[in-house]
Structure 1
Amino acid sequence: MNKKKAMLFCIALSLWTAVLLFASPAYASVQSDGVHIQILHTNDIHARVEPGADDGKGIGMPELAGVFWAARDKEPDTLVLDAGDTFHGMPIINVTRGDAMVGLMNIAGYDAMAPGNHDYNYGADRLVELSKKTNFPVLSANTVYKKSGQLVFRAYKIFDCSGVKVGVFGLTTPETAVKTNPTNVMDVAFFDPVVCAKAMTALLRDDGCQVVIGLMHMGLDVSSAVTSQQIAAEVPGLDVIIDGHSHTELPTGLAAGDALICQTGWHGHNVGAVELVVNDGKVTSKTAKLWNLKDAELIAPVPDPGTLEAMKLLKKTSEQEFAKVVAQSPKKLSGERALSRVTETELGNLSADAMRAAAGADIAFMNGGGIRTDLPKGEVTQGDLMNIFPFGNTLEKLELTGAEVRAALEHSVASVPSPFGGFLQVSGLAFTYDSSRAAGSRVQSVTVDGLPMDDAQTYTVAVNDFLAAGGDGYDMWKGAPVVGAYGTLEEIVASYLEQHGTSGIELGRIVDAAKK
């Protein structure tokens, strides 16, 4: 961070510290029915910091910060927590390797964060560096160094809210071992979160905490090894779980065991707000709700000025980063919409090859609709690749049967000759289909690494997270086992292009028998 940006960040922080000092007095939280404590929370922002992201659904960091400070002004006993997958995702943040997100979160006034699997996308060492730059603790009670057994991050923090001790401990999903590039976490291990949650809850209760909050990146997906619902069921004494990972919207929370599980969805579409009432040392009431963009604008009509100024500086800095040359291309590769959505293209082959290499997968699929413009001849900048892949999609590795792969190929070519955003560009696989036949029975032959595909065999398949979630109608692999997760497509293609150029991307992987 340059001196000018740092100075502006400091000025903004000083300004809002003054606002807090002259806000409503602390005793405003103490009411006739007890002490009222507010927990504001976010999860799985994935670096969506610009207002209006995701077709206008994203609240954006200036607006989020405005909500946080406005809420604190009204309710002094407010904690702001984040449940992870925050430091990585969009180019504007990725170019700083997470630094810019730290600065924005510091200005916004976060009180604690639990790291998610994608927060490791720059590597564990980098995540530790980022954690030392935050004005708030990064908490994870189940993450240790393999060699020493020591905690990588702080386990918990206790807050004083008008005399009520609130203990917050962090947990990270053990799936991080495979849901980031495994090389990113080769030196760290993730202990059983249920065991750690029991130990932390007991420790905090013994220390006199009247409220215990689990801040965790665990999720509610039934396919996950451990879920937040399981933790709530097996750990008595937990009051609230602020959760992430599964991108689940819980408008009023989910009651499980003694706990209320709260999650906002993803990409900053909502801010979570939990209201606790503590009377005579016990939680007597807990309610949860979500505030969307319209709600946020009512709560804070004016975005936070310090965050707005930081965003201006960030955009100026990122523009310089986007101009950096990251690779060379011997020729222009077309990203024309009319081609990539209906037929095999060289840019599609390059993209899929890069994905398969990064994931070490048998097969890779790239949806044609995810390719948005041409790759230029000559110097290729970071900005060029971000324009080609503008969505911040990350790479995942699935396990699919040959039958599921075949069903996906049928879906891919069902609309030909009409353009379809889900038309698959492929790597590691070749197939022939007949567009003159009825949709659903067009695929004729499929080979994987030159051998006939076995419908009963399990293959590893690299796809972007949009497709992995069933995007473009790929329901046949929605919920399939995820055995690896990696960086963003622009990062992966930049690295591949720099190392391999455009060799081996010649057409011939997809053949329409009707055109022979």
Structure 2
Amino acid sequence: MSEEVGVMDSSIVKLYAPYKNILEKDMNRVLAISDVELVKDKPESPLTNFLGDLLLTEGAKVGQNQSTKLTPVVSFFNYGGIRSSLPKGEITVGNIFELMPFENEMVFLELKAEQIEEFLHYIAEHGGGSVGGIQMVINDEKATNVLVGGEKLAMNKTYWLVTNDYVAAGGDGLEMFQNSVQYINSGVKIRDAIISFLEDKNKKNEHITTKLDGRIRNE
């Protein structure tokens, strides 16, 4: 290595060091306290339920800031995009980056009832997943006894779903999402929405608690 390259490398390190320290400090920042370890599993689990409910809550907040003033009634996290568990005790910014390392953004899809039904059959075929606003029974890899927002699926209605831009574009085999009635990208990163939700909990001195509630059951 030449002396000139060595000097250049040293300069880069000096320039980067303060930012590295800031980043590391933020990664260790505690966002919230969880009373339980959150691990993903199917057909439902504490982590998948927690993320589904979180996305529905944050989606409603963000949706009300859109010009359409929409409120999603269904949420979906793709199972493969959930890359780690969340610990019992302190949850840090670093934990959320490990959980959700992608730069995916929150999007809203207006879907016909038939598309919701197709989507839920997809969930059933894959043995469950991370959803909010849904109750269903998996029977022979099909979604049965479906409730959306506590009501039976109405075939003459459309429903707003909140998810990420990756699956909204048909990723992970969700081709039915490509034919949505409307598509709105909020510009809000999913990871930032998770962090915002946890910070809000912490401000209210509320711990993270979640449990199985039978939203997805095998028959």
TM over 0.5: yes
- List gaps (5 residues or longer) in structure 2: 1-7, 61-71
Aligned residue pairs, count: 194
Q: 1: distance between equivalents of 2:97 and 2:155?
A: 36
Is the Cα–Cα contact under 8 Å of residues 32 and 208 in structure 2 kept in the other structure? Answer: no
CA 415–504 in structure 1, closer or farther in 2 if over 3 Å, else same:
closer
Is the Cα–Cα contact under 8 Å of residues 44 and 212 in structure 2 kept in the other structure? Answer: no
CA shift for structure 1 position 404: 0.6
Deviation readout 1:473-504 (Å, 9 max, x if unpaired): 10001152223515222322232234264345
1:426 aligns with: 131
**Within 5 A, what are the aligned runs for 1:359-438?**
359-360=59-60, 361-416=72-127, 424-434=129-139, 437=140
Deviation readout 1:328-367 (Å, 9 max, x if unpaired): 11111114xxx2xx42111111111111111111110111
Is the Cα–Cα contact under 8 Å of residues 105 and 185 in structure 2 kept in the other structure? Answer: no
Q: 1: distance between equivalents of 2:125 and 2:28?
A: 39
Do residues 457 (structure 1) and 157 (structure 2) align? yes
Percent identity between the two aligned chains:
27
CA shift for structure 1 position 383: 0.4
1:506 aligns with: 212
Do residues 485 (structure 1) and 186 (structure 2) align? yes
CA shift for structure 1 position 464: 1.2
Normalised by the length of structure 2, the TM-score is 0.79
**Within 5 A, what are the aligned runs for 1:276-425?**
308-309=12-13, 310-311=15-16, 313-335=18-40, 339=41, 342-360=42-60, 361-416=72-127, 424-425=129-130
Normalised by the length of structure 1, the TM-score is 0.35
CA 311–458 in structure 1, closer or farther in 2 if over 3 Å, else same:
farther
Q: Supply the RMSD in Å over aligned alpha carbons.
A: 2.3
Q: Secondary structure at the match of 2:23?
A: helix
Q: Which has the higher contact order (CA 8 A, sep 6+)?
A: 2
Q: Secondary structure at the match of 2:147?
A: strand
Deviation readout 1:232-276 (Å, 9 max, x if unpaired): xxxxxxxxxxxxxxxxxxxxxxxxxxxxxxxxxxxxxxxxxxxxx
Q: Secondary structure at the match of 1:432?
A: strand
Q: 1: distance between equivalents of 2:123 and 2:112?
A: 17
Deviation readout 1:65-106 (Å, 9 max, x if unpaired): xxxxxxxxxxxxxxxxxxxxxxxxxxxxxxxxxxxxxxxxxx
**Within 5 A, what are the aligned runs for 1:193-232?**
none
The amino acid that maps onto 1:506 is L
- List gaps (5 residues or longer) in structure 1: 1-303, 417-422
The amino acid that maps onto 1:330 is D
